C-alpha cells in the first residue's frame, strides 16, 4: 500500500508539474496576435526625389523663392528641390525655353535640355543642349542662383 501511495503521489506531482508547465507555456509561447498593417501607397512610402543639381540649400532656397513668386510653387522654402519645385520650374521652362513634356516634377532629359537653354542664354552655359546635367550645367545653375540671391531669377 505504501508503494502504491508513493507511486500515486509521484504521478500526481508529475501531472501537476506538467500541467503547470503547460499552462505557463500556453501563455508565454502563444503566437502573437496578427498585426493588421495599413495599406499605403508607394507615394507615401517612397520619399520624393530631391535633385538640387549641385546647388547648396541656400542657393536652392533662392530658386524656390523665385518659383514661389512667379511659377506657382506652393511648397516649403526648405532648400530641397523636390517634385513640387521641379513642377514649378517646368512651368517656367515650358513658357520660355521649349519644355514640351508633362509637368510631372521629374528631372529628366527634356527638363535638363530646357534648363540648359535658359542657362546658355543668361548664365554662361557653353556645353551642348544634350539633356545631361553634367558639371557645366551644374556650374551654370549655381551661377544663376548666386547672381540673384533672394530669388530674382526665373523672370
Whether 12 maps to a domain, the answer reads no
Whether 60 maps to a domain, the answer reads yes
Could you report the per-residue pLDDT of 15-58, keeping only the tens digit for each? 444 445 444 444 444 445 554 444 444 444 444 588 889 999 99
Whether 41 maps to a domain, the answer reads no
Whether 28 maps to a domain, the answer reads no
What is the rounded distance in angstroms from the CA atom of residue 35 to the CA atom of residue 38?
A: 10
Whether 17 maps to a domain, the answer reads no
Q: Which domain holds residue 66?
A: 53-147
Number of domains observed in the structure of the chain: 1
Whether 59 maps to a domain, the answer reads yes
Q: Return the HEC string of 29-80.
A: CCCCCCCCCCCCCHHHHCCCCCCCCCCCHHHHHHHHHHHHHHCCCCCCCCCC
Quick one: pLDDT band at residue 151, thresholds 50, 70, 90?
low
All three cell numbers of 128, joined, read: 551642348
Could you report the per-residue pLDDT of 95-109, keeping only the tens digit for each? 999 999 999 999 999
- Smallest CA-to-CA distance from 81 within 102, 109, 110, 111 is with 111
The b/e string for 87-108 (b: 16+ C-beta within 10 A; e otherwise) is bbbbbbbbeebebeeeeebebe
Whether 70 maps to a domain, the answer reads yes
Whether 153 maps to a domain, the answer reads no
Amino acid at each position: 500500500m505504501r508503494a502504491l501511495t508513493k507511486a500515486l503521489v509521484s504521478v500526481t506531482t508529475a501531472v501537476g508539474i506538467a500541467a503547470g508547465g503547460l499552462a505557463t507555456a500556453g501563455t508565454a509561447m502563444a503566437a502573437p496576435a496578427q498585426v493588421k498593417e495599413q495599406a499605403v501607397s508607394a507615394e507615401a512610402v517612397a520619399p520624393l526625389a530631391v535633385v538640387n543639381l549641385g546647388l547648396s540649400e541656400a542657393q536652392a532656397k533662392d530658386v524656390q523663392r523665385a518659383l514661389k513668386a512667379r511659377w506657382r510653387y506652393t511648397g516649403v522654402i526648405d532648400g530641397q528641390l523636390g517634385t513640387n519645385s521641379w513642377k514649378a520650374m517646368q512651368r517656367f521652362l515650358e513658357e520660355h525655353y521649349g519644355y514640351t513634356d508633362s509637368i510631372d516634377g521629374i528631372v529628366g532629359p527634356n527638363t535638363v535640355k530646357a534648363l540648359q537653354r535658359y542657362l546658355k542664354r543668361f548664365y554662361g552655359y557653353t556645353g551642348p543642349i544634350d539633356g545631361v546635367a553634367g558639371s557645366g550645367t551644374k556650374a551654370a545653375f549655381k551661377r544663376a542662383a548666386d547672381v540673384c540671391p533672394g530669388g530674382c531669377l526665373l523672370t
